[in-house]
Chains A and B, each alone.
Chain A
Amino acid sequence: MRISLIQLFIICFVTSFGVSMASLPAAVAKSAHEDMWLSVLVGGVAFLFAVWVVTKLSSYFPQHSCIEYHRILLGPILGQGVNILLVILILLIPIVSVRSFVVAAKTYLFDITPPQVLSAAILILLWYAAQYGLQPIIRFQQLIFFSSHMVFFLIILMGLMAIQQRHYLPFLADGVLPVLKGAIPSWYAYTGPEIVIGMFYPFITRQKETFKWAAASVAALIVVYTVTTVIVQGILGPEETAHLLSPTIIAFRKVVLPDTFIERVDGYFLIFWIPVFIVCMLNWVYLAAFGIERILRLENSRPAVALLMPLILYFVIVPPDYQTASAISEWTNKLLIAWGAGILPLLLCIAWWKEKRRGAC
């Protein structure tokens, strides 16, 4: 199983894109107001640090995934504990994301279908697609990346027709502090490459170029997320964006191309969001299953995939209301920041120290 650098670029991009498309603008607007787009940009640049750390850390163990080197660095018990925490953290992302996607799909596309059925349908599809290992997943991603992500981005750009310039000013009226505060929730939108690199590093063909290609992927994400936020801000304004639960969808419902066969852009936005989201979730499910496979030293990840599905379905359904789901999402973001900006640098320090000691001996 080998991953080329272009495949790495696509995996990193696809894993992040779609996790919090609908709610990202609202999360940053609450803190940064007119500078909300800048928060998304700053959040992406800050996230590059986590990508650099995980690449550097993985380069100490070119033949091992993070599940193995956690045990090497922290010992079998603590290392395994960190691995279990990591798998739980990875699992939280499809749980939170499928939940919010199903709510959006039910609201705008399938108003009668019970959410359990929508969740189950998504998970059955993911179960089927994830059970044959990484290679078919990568092929599927390449197909969707060129057929759906590109079109989806063009649809996003159509939003530029409905923006109003006045929504972007004043610039930095309250200084940089609100911008930095707004960058915190945007971390969640970028999450993915730091896990992908940790898990799949041994399979990357030209490992020395990993950071360059992963950073390029994050840069592409920064562009797409910033453009999306700029458009939502330009259509709704910061106050309205902060007030709405899914501002991205509401904003694109205001974009129309009158007297053309396209007419309303939001329908296409939702249609192309489905494959984009599915392929994103596919990665997360496989990452969790791969983690379990390595923790339990299984032959392959198929049993883990099958076991995860009912578990994910249960936790997608169990939050009773929006507030609970939102609180879980916020905690997941905090844990991801703790992982990317706290635990990973700590592990890098330990790896560097151990390497230094070995060199001294």
Chain B
Amino acid sequence: MLMALSPRTVILAGAMIALALITAGCWDRKEIEDRGFVLGMAIDHVTTAGPKGQYDLPHVTQEAGQRKYLITLELPRFRKQGEENSATGSDQHYIFAGEGESLYAVTRAIDAQTGLTLFFEDLQVLVISEAVAREGVDDLLDFFFRNAGIRRQVRVFVTPGRAEDILRTKLQVAEVNSTYIEKISHNVKLVPRFASISDLGDIAEAIQNKRPFFMAGIVTENGEVKLTGVAIFKDGKMVEKLDEWEIVGAKIIRKVLKGGVFTVANPANPEKIAAFELAESRIKVDSHIQGDKLSFSLEAEFVGNLVENAEIEQNALDPAFQATLEQALAAEFTRQTLAAYRKQQAMKAEIYDLAGLLHRQHPAYWKTVKSRWDDEVFPNTPLDVKITVIIRRTGMSR
């Protein structure tokens, strides 16, 4: 039958088949179950540089570099249809680890151990141990910035203990640890004392601009994780931490404090507390130059509701009480703001984008102080804080 076809038809048919093969993109065919979706990554120092076990499986042989870092990857455990789901988190994931200095070499070695193709497009969280962070992270992060598969929204955390514990810990919830951490990171806006989350994109920009940056802290205990504290980085190395009190002040200066509950001693009875929930905030930070003198000003207006008053005899609608309470809250906000500002001045590393503000508002002046900013200029620049608080409602009772 083929003989009956003209050569032109045969060539055309052959070309069409070849074209179908080329354009269908079969070359890159990869079944979804063969992909290793890396959701979390942890970086620690290796505990002992010697062999582990008879065959020393975690060790990754490299031409140069040392057995320096332990890289732990968390992958989801997919279930077949009808397979029962487990109630705890530990059954939700696979953990793989390797030891070496090159992150790329280690991930490739893990690739070869798993039979899966590691896929980083869905990476949610990166956890770095404080020990590694204090030694410096900018060289480590180069792997993430260079890798086309890794997105810039990956949330980055520092933990005081072992970073691998954050991924390995058995959570109470039936969820992969990394996705659970990613979910709770959305709730930091509800709790003003939890650090803002920085992602790889923010850090890449800071490194490129040669500016200090921060990473949120994370700790784990008893099957729970908590996002707390902030690690400050200067020249790529972690230099200091902000505690939960200083975080509130830092958020005010960075103009990101949008909500949360704040308690103060009740003005009518200092033994009791009054709680204020922030609903709206308007914060304005400016730089001023008078002669050669630089100063910053911060004006803020916090509007919210009285949500709890432990002194039940008090009439919360009494204007005098409200005014006193507003002043007490304003004083507390001012104290926290100045505490955070002075802490940064003391550590000579500023993460509030005040350098950027000065650059935007006074570019000519910025050029003259740029090289001396962190060590000389910022530590000696005053901040004038004016905060007002307005209590709009008192809930459903007087």
- Interface set of A (CB-CB < 8 Å, partner B): 107-114, 117, 120-121, 124-125, 166, 169-170, 173-174, 236-237, 239-240, 243, 250, 253-254, 256
Q: Any chain A CB within 8 A of the CB of B284?
A: no
Distance between Cα atoms of A112 and B25 in the complex (Å): 10
Inter-chain contacts of B363 with A (CB < 8 A): 170, 173-174
Could you tell me if A254 and B153 are in contact, using CB atoms closer than 8 angstroms? yes
Q: Is the CB of A124 within 8 A of B22?
A: yes
B204 interface contact, C-beta 8 A? yes
Closest residue of chain A to B200, judged by CB?
Answer: A254
Contact B209 A256 (CB under 8 A): no
Q: Does B360 contact A (CB under 8 A)?
A: yes
Q: Given contacts A166-B353, A240-B204, A243-B208, are A112 and B27 in contact (CB under 8 A)?
A: yes
Question: Judging by beta carbons under 8 Å apart, are A250 and B22 in contact?
Answer: no
Q: Is the CB of B27 within 8 A of A113?
A: yes
Instruction: Verify B360–A170 contact, CB threshold 8 A.
Output: yes
- Closest approach, in angstroms, between the C-beta of A176 and any C-beta of chain B? 14
| In the complex with contacts A113-B28, A250-B152, A166-B208 CB distance below 8 A | no
Give residues of chain B (151-209) contacting chain A, Cβ–Cβ below 8 Å.
151-153, 201, 204-205, 208-209
| B359 lies within 8 A of chain A by Cβ | yes
Q: Does B3 contact A (CB under 8 A)?
A: no
B27 & A256 in contact (Cβ 8 Å cutoff)? no
Q: Is B290 among interface residues, defined by CB-CB distance under 8 A? A: no
Point out the residue from B208, B353, B359, B360 that lies within 8 Å of A240, measured CB to CB: B208
Shortest distance between the CB of B110 and any CB in chain A (Å):
18
A113-B28, A169-B360 known; A236 and B153 CB under 8 Å? no
| B320 CB–A CB distance under 8 Å | no
Q: Mark B5-34, 1 if CB is under 8 A from A, else 0.
A: 000000000000001001101011000000
Inter-chain CA distance A255–B367, complex, in Å, is 33
User: How near does chain A come to B31, taking the closest CB pair, in angstroms?
Assistant: 14
Please classify how large the interface on chain B is, using the bins under 10, 10 to 19, 20 to 34, 35 or more.
20 to 34
Within 8 A of A (CB), among B199-222: 201, 204-205, 208-209
Contact B27 A254 (CB under 8 A): no
Known: A107-B148, A111-B28, A256-B153. 9 other contacts (CB 8 A): A108-B148, A117-B27, A120-B22, A124-B19, A124-B22, A166-B353, A236-B201, A240-B205, A243-B208
Residues of B within 8 A of A108 (CB): 148
Contact B208 A239 (CB under 8 A): yes
- Check if B223 is an interface residue, CB within 8 A of chain A: no
Q: Can you list 8 A-B pairs, Cβ within 8 angstroms, ordered by A?
A: A117-B27, A121-B23, A125-B23, A169-B359, A174-B363, A237-B209, A240-B205, A254-B152
Knowing A117-B22, A239-B205, say if A166 contacts B152 (CB, 8 Å): no
Chain B residue with minimal CB distance to A246?
A: B148
* Chain B residues near A109 (CB-CB < 8 A): 28
Expressed in whole angstroms, the minimum distance between the Cβ of B104 and any Cβ of chain A is: 15
CA distance A239 to B208 in the complex (A): 6
